[in-house]
Each structure stands twice: as C-alpha cells, then as structure tokens.
Structure 1
C-alpha cells in the first residue's frame, strides 16, 4: 500500500538549478577582480550563518521532511545556545501534515527555553498555518500583505479496499484533531472551524486578526 496524507498545496514549487563550482589550481592566484569585496552581498551559507547568528529561522516553500529536519535542528541549536527569543519567518503553500506537525511540536518544545515569535509573510497556507499556530497568540505576527488559508487535509492511497478504508478513517481523525487545534488557537467554535475548513478559507491580514489567528500586523522589524 502506498499512502500519502497532506494538505493540498495551492501551487507547485519551481526548483532552481544549482550552479557549478570552480576550483582554482593550487598554483593559481586569484586576481584582484576575483577577490570578494569586504561588504559584498552575502550568499548561500554566509547568509544562513548571519541569519542563524541573529536567531532568525526561515520556513519558505513546501513543507516536507527535509524542511522539518532542517528547522528542527536550527530550533534545538538556538534554544540550547541561549534563552533569547527566536524569530521564525514563514511563507508556505503547505505540504505534508506530519512534517507540519513535527515543526509545530518542536516550536512548542523549545518555547519554554527560548520564546518563539512567528512572523507570517506572503502566504501562510494549509500546513503552513498549522506551523504558524504553534506560536503563542501574543507572539503571532504578520506583514501587511500576508494571506492565510485554512482547509481540511487530503490523502491518497492505493491498495486493497480494506487499506483504503483504514486510510479514510485516519484522515477523518486527523481532520477532527486539526479542527480542534485551530478552534483552540483562534477562539472560534469547533463548529465554525468545521464549516470554514470544509472548503478553502482565505483571510487577509486584517481578517486573520479578527478571526483570532494573528495578534498584530507589523510594518517594521523593530516591532517584533
């Protein structure tokens, strides 16, 4: 049996081609033009290092096990190094529920040691919203043009009819669990969440505040 339970992803990601590395000959000396300028724009690992030193974690793109592993490692390392707040920036179309659960649980796991701020930007959809509500409500922020999407999980399975039936029941249980979670974290009734997530439920930043999903819309990094 092949099984895959996830939130439906509203858009596909387009991977970027990796660039080729060039290795200098041992006796070759780079010219002045080839030498990086002291204040050159950071790229790749340099940018990651700077963000890590500033205790900032980015969750961008589809939520999967690779993203979950990377984010989990950063959260544990940052929480172990200091009790200063960690800023998590999220822009995601959604992805695998289990990977979203992993990041959601890890944010709550480290929050007692190092408070975690959640900052939504772009769109926070589906499994991305699941991660977003891991933060304490007073520390859930978003930028002015952020959009949010709530909906029910979807799954696909191939195999014997009995296995398909088992999978369907698991999705129903997962749907109820997630609806209970969003009801608790937004202050909406369970019945309201069930109704809203029966189809795609979109909110802009202002609507997300009224819904109880976001505490504050911020326009400056100094507001975090």
Structure 2
C-alpha cells in the first residue's frame, strides 16, 4: 500500500503531512487503509499540525479523513503550503484553524465520475453525483457559513482561491506568517532598545559631571582702572 500521508513529531508536537494524490488506490470497499489511518491518528493526543499539499483524489477517502479529523479530540491546525484542490479542500476545512501560505491555492468544484450503461444507469450516476455534491456542501457550509446556493455556485464555476480570497469567503482563517521576518523585526527592536539605553546613560553621565569652574567676575573698581588705562 502506498500511503499518501506521513506522521512525525517535532518538539513534542504531532505533525501530519498529506502530500500528493489522496488515495491513489481508492478507499472504496477498502476497510484496511482507513483503519490504518484512524489507528495512527488516535495513537496519540494533543494538537495536530496538518501540512497539506494535494491536487485532490478520492472523495470517499477525503470524506473519511474529514470525519476522523472532525471527531478528533485535540485541535487540528491545517496549513496549506501548496495546493488544496478538489477532495483536498474537504480535508482542509476539517481544521480547527486553516492557514494558507501567501503563494498557496485552494480550489473547489463539482464531483465527477465515470459511468457506462443505459439511461437508467446514467440517471443513477447523476443522482449519486448530486448527493455527493450535497455532502461536500455540508462540510463547506460548516466552515464558511455561506449559503448552500452560494457554495453550489462556487463549485459549479470551479472556483480557484488564493489565500486572501479563501479568507474572504471563509474557507481559511489567516495567512502563514514569515518567522524569519518576525525574527528580524525582533532584532531591530532590540537594537533600538539598546541604542536608547546607551543614549539615556550618556545623558545621565553628562548631568552628573561637576560644573565647569568659572572665572570670578571683575569688581567694579578693577574694571574702572582698566577703562582708565585704555582712555589714556
């Protein structure tokens, strides 16, 4: 079995990475793959950071992962660092919070399938896709608060969203911050603090200096004497 997910631990934090196509080997009629995922998910506790980069895949697999993450007792912080398209967008909205890189994208569209047979079989396929779409709308509605008709229209149009658009529509909560920039800003602030401290210290030392010795003022008599000399 080729797994499309991976678990790791960093600084005691659980990291789940979903990268690539979701379920290249479909989970349909497969009680092994989802069971393994669920066991690994529940093999620990506490908050989970989910790094997501996927073009989508099997909607059944996405639905099961969505449900497992929604039922998980700890917080799930979803971070989209590349693409969360199609079925992957369903997994994304399972997060307690959803953050997107400034360069990442999210895409939602109508589900599709392949079917063959007579008109009755085609009608069954259409009915099935209609119900799948309604189930996906359920997940989007919980996350965004948008009306079902608005979400349906966005799916009909195959809507691509950058981070700001996804936040505007409610599919995401914020943009991933640049930790390097925060570190530089913090360093700059420290430098200003040091400079101000040195300046204040210099001012205090200047005030503490003993006053300069001044020459005594000339008496009136000595001044008259000097003026007398000059006049002659």
TM range (shorter): 0.5 to 0.7
Choose which of 40, 44, 49 in structure 2 pairs with 1:77: 40
Q: Structure 1-normalised TM-score?
A: 0.67
Map of 2:92 onto structure 1: 132
1:140–1:190 CA distance, 2 compared to 1 (3 A): same
Choose which of 21, 24, 40 in structure 2 pairs with 1:62: 21
Map of 1:118 onto structure 2: 78
Q: Distance in 1 between matches of 2:37 and 2:155?
A: 31
Deviations 1:93-132 (A, max 9, x none): 111110111111111122x2x2211111111101010100
Runs of at least 4 residues of structure 1 off by over 6 A? 67-72
- Report if aligned partners of 1:88, 1:117 keep a CA contact under 8 Å in 2: yes
Q: Which has the larger radius of gyration?
A: 2
Any unmatched runs of 5+ in structure 1?
A: 1-46
Choose which of 131, 145, 152 in structure 2 pairs with 1:173: 131
Report the alpha carbon displacement of residue 172 of structure 1 after superposing the two structures with TM.
0.9
Any unmatched runs of 5+ in structure 2?
A: 1-5, 183-232
Residue 49 (structure 2) pairs with residue 87 (structure 1): yes
> Where do 1:1-224 residues align within 5 Å?
54-64=13-23, 73=36, 76-81=39-44, 83-110=45-72, 112=73, 114-136=74-96, 139-220=97-178
Deviations 1:190-222 (A, max 9, x none): 111111111210111011111111111112579
- Report if aligned partners of 1:91, 1:120 keep a CA contact under 8 Å in 2: yes
Q: Highest relative contact order (Cα 8 Å, sep 6+), 1 or 2? A: 1
Instruction: Look up the SS of the partner of 2:42 in the other structure.
Output: helix
**In angstroms, what is the RMSD of aligned CA positions?**
3.0
1:193–1:145 CA distance, 2 compared to 1 (3 A): same
Instruction: Look up the SS of the partner of 2:156 in the other structure.
Output: coil
